Amino acid sequence: MGGVALDDGPTGVKAPDGGWGWAVLAGGFVITGFSYAFPKAVSVFFKELIREFGVGYSDCAWISSLLLAMLYGTGPVCSVLVNRFGCRPVMVAGGLFASLGMILASFATSIIHLYLCIGVITGLGLALNFQPSLIMLNRYFSEKRPLANGLAAAGSPVALCCLSPLGQFLQYQYGWRGGFLILGGILLNCCACGALMRPLLPPKTRKGAEIQVEEQQPAAEEKKKKKKLLDFSVFRDRGFLIYTLAASVMVLGLFVPPVFVVSYAKELGNADTKSALLLTILGFVDIFARPTCGLIAGLKWVRPRCVYLFSFAMVFNGCTDLIGSQATDYTGLVFFCIFFGISYGMVGALQFEVLMAIVGTEKFPSAIGLVLLMEAIAVLVGPPGAGRLLDTTHNYMYVFLLAGCEVVVSAFIICLGNFFCLKKKTPEEEEPEARLEMAVRAAEREELNHHHDDKAGSEDGSAAAMTTTQNDGGGGGETVVRERNMAKGLAGEIDEEAKPEKGV
């Protein structure tokens, strides 16, 4: 492997916004589905595990909690590994870990073994797949990135709708041990998804481009030597700090309603099957909400203001919780799940798109790891804290009110913070990579025109024409040199200029 990240996203390589990127998107769709749905899918085996090991439901619930804790809490570790080895090898290794954990769990003799095998080993494997898939999606998509993020995020509700019934079927047919063994085999698909993450390479179709790549190799090698495995400089970006604070507060309440809505329905006197249908409704709406929101976020007028759309989604979600807390019958909970599914899908589609826009492609691998670490703390505190509130008050209304208030507060943090604390980018600062690419393309276009003129002059066979062509070619050559120098100067200027503190 060496110490080189093969998929660093070389400077000057434009995101293809298609092509092999659609294969990367398909892999990200599957990985996102496994990462978010698997902790919930494992819960269908809890009754059998309680009977097998003589433990309580809270003991089994630690399996899912450890899975989520590993998914979020190992973010910095994933960032270091990605910066050291690249996305593809990290994801393949993660797929092997995820599968190995479930296979070993099928031979467990105590609940502690399940904590280690499913919670730690499988959780680490899923974490090593989830974060690199987001990084590669960010590298392959630029103009269509909001749509790509929305489509990839839709993998979560789709996988939840598939994995939960599948887990129930496997439990009835093969028992929990056979079910874990088969799920371990299914998780090997993570390795196939990792293999799809082909690194982006600079174009080498023209001789001039090859020369430029050769000229940039020493600088690139020097840059890689100096590259930090975990870039803490993102904490100097006020936009990143505001986003991290808002996301941490949001996660305190975001996952609470899906955990308690079924119990809430049972508390109102509804049957178990009827109550469980609420999550199906929520997931079905979520499937369509995520790609639709991604499509809207990619619109020309909306994308520069994506952070405010994200704030609206959080306010929408929080207000849905506040209103849903007043539900007194099953119909009210159905409407709550419909609107919660829409707002939850919007948040899921936009959260990483906003972070990508704030920190940029180069710092995103480190930024996503640090954000997930902060969110891991909130994930471990949020649902248990809501459960303690329920034990104290014995009223689900207060649980939903608390969750709604936390999400609304996070919306105001990121909206007001972005509006008052961050400088607006000037047109010159807005898209440095795009400016560099335009300059390089202009130089290449001028070179191609000059080459075409030289070829036409040689075919003419006239000495006078050849002389004229040579004279014109000399002027054209000077033009090409000037254009190349301008492109190189612009590249150096962009690389050396300090990155401004920016919003979205």
* pLDDT tens per residue, range 200-223: 776 655 544 444 544 455 555 555
Region at 86 (left for phi over 0; alpha for psi -120 to 50; beta for the rest): left
Cα distance between residue 17 and residue 351, in whole Å:
20
Topology, domain 230-422: Growth Hormone; Chain: A; (1.20.1250)
Instruction: Please answer whether residues 446 and 480 qualify as being in contact, where contact means their C-beta atoms are separated by less than 8 angstroms.
Output: yes
Tokens of 7: 């998929």
Dist CA 41 CA 176 (whole Å): 12
pLDDT of 471: 45
**What does the pLDDT read at residue 340?**
92
- 15-195: CATH topology: Growth Hormone; Chain: A; (1.20.1250)
Q: pLDDT tier at 450 (50, 70, 90 boundaries)?
A: low
Q: What is the pLDDT of residues 366-407, one digit of tens each?
A: 888 888 888 887 777 777 777 778 778 878 888 889 889 999
Decide: residue 310, CB within 10 A, 0-12 exposed, 13-18 middle, 19+ buried: buried
**Does residue 255 or residue 336 have the better pLDDT?**
336
Tell me: pLDDT of 75 over 90: no
Contacts of 233 (CB under 8 A, 6+ apart): 363
Contact 454, 474 (CB under 8 A): no
Mean pLDDT over the full length of the chain: 76
Enumerate the β-bridge partners of residue 154.
none
The pLDDT of residue 116: 92
Q: Examine domains 15-195 and 230-422 and report if their fold is the same.
A: yes
Lowest mean pLDDT among 128-132, 257-261, 280-284, 294-298: 257-261
pLDDT band at 480 (very low <50, low <70, confident <90, very high): very low
pLDDT digits (tens, 9 = 90+) for 144-169: 888 888 888 888 888 888 887 888 78
Q: What is the pLDDT of residue 80?
A: 85
Which of these, 379, 246, 381, 261, lies nearest to 321 by C-alpha position?
Answer: 261
**How much is the pLDDT for 226?**
54
Q: How confident is the model at residue 503 (pLDDT cuts 50, 70, 90)?
A: very low
pLDDT tops 80 at residue 171: yes
Average pLDDT over residues 442-468: 48
Give the pLDDT of residue 1: 32
Q: Which of 138, 147, 33, 121 is nearest to 82 (CA)?
A: 138
Rounded distance, CA 297 to CA 360, Å? 17
- Decide which of 435 and 73 is more confident: 73
* 12 or 375, greater pLDDT: 375
Are 146 and 298 contacting, i.e. CB atoms less than 8 angstroms apart? yes
Between the alpha carbon of residue 500 and those of residues 236, 368, 418, 439, the distances in Å are 10, 20, 14, 22
How would you label 64-99 residue by residue, b for 16+ Cβ within 10 Å and e otherwise? Answer: bbbbbbbbbbbbbbbbbbbbbbbbbbbbbbbbbbbb
Q: Give the pLDDT of residue 12.
A: 54
Sequence spans of domains, the chain: 15-195, 230-422, 427-496
pLDDT of 445 strictly over 60: no
The residue-averaged pLDDT of 94-115 equals 92
Report the share of the chain in percent with pLDDT over 70. Answer: 75
Half-sphere exposure of 103 (CA within 13 A, CB side): 12
> Which pTM was predicted?
0.69
What's residue 443's pLDDT? 47
Q: Which two tokens stand for residue 105?
A: 């769990």
pLDDT at 190: 92
pLDDT at 105: 92
